[in-house]
Amino acid sequence: MYNSNLNMNIDTLLSNSGVDVTSIKKMIADKNYKELYSSYPKAIEFMCFVTSEYEFSDFISEMGEIDEEAFLLALAATHSLCSWFGVNEEDEMEQYKKSLNGEYTVIFNDRYNEGTYYIFPIWSMPCLITTERLVIRPVEKDDCEAIHRYAGDPSIDMMMFLPNETFEDTKKFVEFAVSEWAKEDPEDMEFVVLLNGEIIGGVNLEKCEADKTYEIGWILREDMRGKGYATEAAKALMDYAFDVLNAEKVQAHCDSRNQASEKVMKKLGMTLVDDTAIRYYSKRDVFSGEYLYSIMKR
């Protein structure tokens, strides 16, 4: 799912804004509210305000505890990652939603008072994708070392442009990927795949010459293969292409010997389109067959 698993997405959004989410969750779990207030007074004051304008001491006395999700939402609001509306502000909320042209996610939290609506513009959480086990986000410049662990793996022998022979090659790739994301309408979208906060692989979407068609690709670190992560990440990215980018078709290529990748394509619901192509690995002077699979938007 994209932009909907808010527990994970809010964590990521706040972390990207420089917030130490782990320490916040520990303070809440330990009920260390004084330290929480001294560290994030604006968020506490926001929560006091939306709960009938309590003072901090009265808020704690009345509520007994601080709800983790409600506090993270308050932090998001005070960090300008979302806009918030009370239950009696429906007209203002609808007007704001219209200004976003449908590109938003709405969260309703009823932990305090009558409840509060939080509206996250999609641009505030760009291309953050979460699944049951994974977080998928755009490549960042500090990802080089983690990416090189799989992109520089010398055992790779069935991918067109890998392995990277040097760390410098990977750095150049990351620089290119980051520069693409800086564009208003990127054509080559490179993501990293995270498991429990650790980068374990990458997935990619690239615009094709054919209108509304995208090429999808994936790669995992060797110790993470065979566990369903490639299918899980590729499925989420394919859904993103169809639902957010309005793709009509998603396609993928693989070496005809690459049974693992072909298996992923079949699990995605793709069908074989062409099995007659030939690919050439110039670094090794090797020819091999190539398969093309695709799936249309349903």
For residue 199, pLDDT beyond 60: yes
Pairing of strands 104-109, 271-281: unpaired
Closest CA to 163 of 151, 175, 171: 151
Count other Cβ atoms within 10 Å, centred on residue 174: 22
Closest CA to 193 of 227, 160, 158: 227
Confidence of residue 102 (pLDDT cuts 50, 70, 90): low
Q: Percentages helix, strand, coil for the chain, rounded to the nearest 5? A: 40, 25, 35
- The model carries a pTM of 0.61
Best mean pLDDT range from 51-60, 120-129, 145-154: 145-154
What are 218-224's contacts with CB under 8 Å, separation 24+? 218/261, 218/264, 219/150, 219/151, 219/159, 219/162, 220/150, 220/193, 221/149, 221/150, 221/153, 222/150, 222/153, 222/155, 224/195, 224/200
Higher pLDDT, 9 or 262: 262
For residue 225, pLDDT beyond 80: yes
For residue 4, pLDDT beyond 50: no
Confidence of residue 6 (pLDDT cuts 50, 70, 90): very low
Confidence of residue 123 (pLDDT cuts 50, 70, 90): low
Pairing of strands 213-220, 249-255: parallel
Q: Please, what is the average pLDDT of the chain?
A: 84
Count other Cβ atoms within 10 Å, centred on residue 15: 13
For residue 192, pLDDT beyond 50: yes
Q: What share of the chain in percent tops pLDDT 90?
A: 29
Position 272 scores a pLDDT of 96
Residue 168 CB contacts under 8 Å (≥ 6 apart), including other chains = none
Confidence of residue 251 (pLDDT cuts 50, 70, 90): very high
Higher pLDDT, 170 or 114: 170
* Beta carbons of 292 and 277 less than 8 angstroms apart: yes
Q: Where in the chain is the domain with CATH 3.40.630.30?
A: 129-296
The highest-level CATH class for domain 129-296 is: alpha beta
Higher pLDDT, 95 or 81: 95
Residue 109's DSSP bridge partners are: 116
Closest CA to 20 of 49, 40, 43: 40
Position 206 scores a pLDDT of 93
What six digits make up the tokens of 175?
Answer: 């620089």
Position 264 scores a pLDDT of 95
Quote the CA–CA distance of 164 and 150 in Å, as a whole number. Answer: 9
Position 135 scores a pLDDT of 82
Position 1 scores a pLDDT of 31
Q: What share of the chain in percent tops pLDDT 70?
A: 92
Span 282-293, average pLDDT: 89
Confidence of residue 155 (pLDDT cuts 50, 70, 90): confident
The 10s digit of each residue's pLDDT in 269-287 is: 999 999 999 999 888 888 9
For residue 124, pLDDT beyond 70: no
Position 24 scores a pLDDT of 92
What six digits make up the tokens of 12?
Answer: 């990521």
